[in-house]
Amino acid sequence: MFRTTLKKIYLVCGMVEIKLDLDKCEGEGICVDVCPVEVFEVKDGKSIVVNLDECIVCRACETQCPEMAIEIIE
């Protein structure tokens, strides 16, 4: 499932929801670097989720994002 509201993206797969705040995202790619299962990519200067179903809810992206643009909800 995918829905966009203003500059926020909410992605849901099973019991995992990833919220990305594109207003906060600087596209540094830290989430790409720290994710052990390659959930994220940077495209057009913003991080995006490309493999939500691979998320193992380790929360590395959420805790390492300097802009606090990522929220993981179980």
Main-chain phi, psi angles of 66, to 5 degrees = -70, -20
pLDDT category at 45 given cuts 50, 70, 90 is very high
pLDDT category at 26 given cuts 50, 70, 90 is very high
Query: Domains in the chain, ordered, with CATH?
Result: 2-73 (3.30.70.20)
- Write out the E strands in 1-74: 2-5, 8-13, 16-21, 40-43, 46-49, 70-73
Q: Across residues 12-16, what is the average pLDDT?
A: 70
> Could you tell me the pTM of the whole model?
0.80
